[in-house]
């Protein structure tokens, strides 16, 4: 009987220690951000969101980082270095397949959970249509960018155009702000970048350039709508830290109606709000990835 009681005490101690360890692992949260624009600005704005979340969820500490590129954010999720990641649509699909990432939320801009890719040119270039882009030089963003590579390539393929022979030269700008600067400075003829609508008055060129420089640029072709970029979580973190995951998700959804959070999402990635998402929302992205793949 004494031995049984001793064993029971040992198991109880081990269980308590295990619970405490799990709680400690859940308390420290590693959150990574997509380097879609100037990394220093993303880190500053991402850290502001992390500090806000810490005030809403007592006892957690959020460590923030910005990945070197899109693929590095996926790899950091796969390797367990990140618990949460702000992933582009293409990066989310990759992280879901490679790292068992689970989408929690997607972004809303201008009243809808979609955005577009646009081929943008200088107004004085004489380029007015898709056909005029033949033989021009283009700057894509990143091979894993939805608006800056996957969807614009899929748009060309859908029209029977081979993107790899259509342009005279292809480069990667790495980030949307770098791409619009390259276009404005005349380094390339056209860029593939994000647009917040299909009216031509809101996109990377209006966000990262002064009003006079932005007015000198114009989109000539748009892609199909792209589902909003995501906040995703590593599946094993969600299963082991379900309460923290749920509270972070809830707090970010609530930011749109909290005066203390006004502008934080807007400063981060020009997001108006984050709303619930599910994996099937990104099937259109999977189709675009398949269509845009090099043959």
| φ, ψ at 116 (rounded to 5°) | -135, 160
C-alpha–C-alpha distance, residues 83 and 101, integer Å: 9
C-alpha–C-alpha distance, residues 274 and 279, integer Å: 15
- pLDDT digits (tens), the chain, 295 positions: 555 554 444 444 433 433 433 456 899 999 999 999 899 999 999 999 999 999 999 999 999 999 999 999 999 999 999 999 999 999 999 999 988 999 999 999 989 999 999 999 999 999 999 999 999 999 999 999 999 999 999 999 999 999 999 999 999 999 999 999 999 999 999 999 999 999 999 999 999 999 999 999 999 999 999 999 999 999 999 999 999 999 999 999 999 999 889 799 999 999 999 999 999 999 999 999 999 987 6
pLDDT computed for residue 16 by the predictor? 40
DSSP assignment string, 140-192: E--TT-IIIIIHHHHHHHHTT--HHHHSSEEEE-SSHHHHHHHHHTTS-SEEE
pLDDT computed for residue 23 by the predictor? 59
C-alpha–C-alpha distance, residues 251 and 34, integer Å: 20
CA dihedral (114, 106, 139, 206) positive or negative? positive
pLDDT computed for residue 2 by the predictor? 53
C-alpha–C-alpha distance, residues 232 and 96, integer Å: 9
**Alpha-carbon 88 to chain mean position:** 3
pLDDT computed for residue 255 by the predictor? 97
- Helix H or strand E encompassing 196: none
C-alpha–C-alpha distance, residues 177 and 213, integer Å: 13
C-alpha–C-alpha distance, residues 34 and 25, integer Å: 24
pLDDT computed for residue 18 by the predictor? 38
| Pairing assessment for the beta strands 137-140 and 190-195 based on DSSP bridges | parallel
The number of beta carbons lying within 10 Å of the beta carbon of residue 256 is 15
């Amino acid at each position: 009987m004494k031995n049984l009681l001793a064993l029971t005490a040992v198991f109880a101690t081990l269980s308590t220690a295990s619970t405490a360890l799990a709680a400690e692992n859940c308390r420290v949260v590693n959150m990574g951000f997509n380097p879609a624009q100037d990394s220093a600005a993303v880190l500053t704005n991402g850290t502001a969101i992390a500090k806000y979340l810490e005030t809403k969820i007592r006892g957690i500490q959020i460590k923030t980082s910005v990945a070197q590129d899109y693929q590095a954010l996926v790899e950091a999720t796969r390797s367990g270095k990140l618990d949460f990641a702000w992933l582009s649509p293409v990066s989310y699909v990759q992280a879901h397949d490679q790292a068992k990432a689970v989408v929690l939320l997607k972004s809303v801009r201008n009243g809808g959970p979609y955005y577009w890719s646009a081929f943008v040119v200088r107004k004085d270039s004489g380029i007015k249509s898709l056909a005029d882009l033949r033989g021009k030089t283009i700057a894509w963003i990143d091979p894993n960018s939805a608006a800056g590579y996957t969807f614009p390539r899929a748009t060309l393929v859908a029209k029977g155009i081979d993107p790899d022979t259509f342009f005279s030269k292809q480069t990667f700008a790495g980030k949307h702000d770098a791409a619009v600067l390259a276009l404005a400075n005349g380094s390339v003829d056209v860029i593939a970048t994000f647009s917040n609508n299909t009216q031509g008055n809101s996109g990377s060129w209006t966000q990262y350039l002064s009003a006079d420089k932005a007015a000198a640029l114009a989109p000539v072709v748009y892609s199909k709508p792209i589902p909003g970029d995501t906040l995703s979580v590593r599946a094993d973190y969600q299963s082991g830290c379900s309460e923290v995951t749920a509270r972070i998700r809830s707090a970010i959804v609530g930011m749109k109606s909290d005066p203390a959070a006004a502008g934080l999402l807007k400063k981060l990635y020009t997001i108006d709000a984050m709303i619930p998402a599910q994996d099937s929302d990104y099937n259109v992205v999977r189709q675009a990835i398949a269509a845009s793949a090099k043959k």
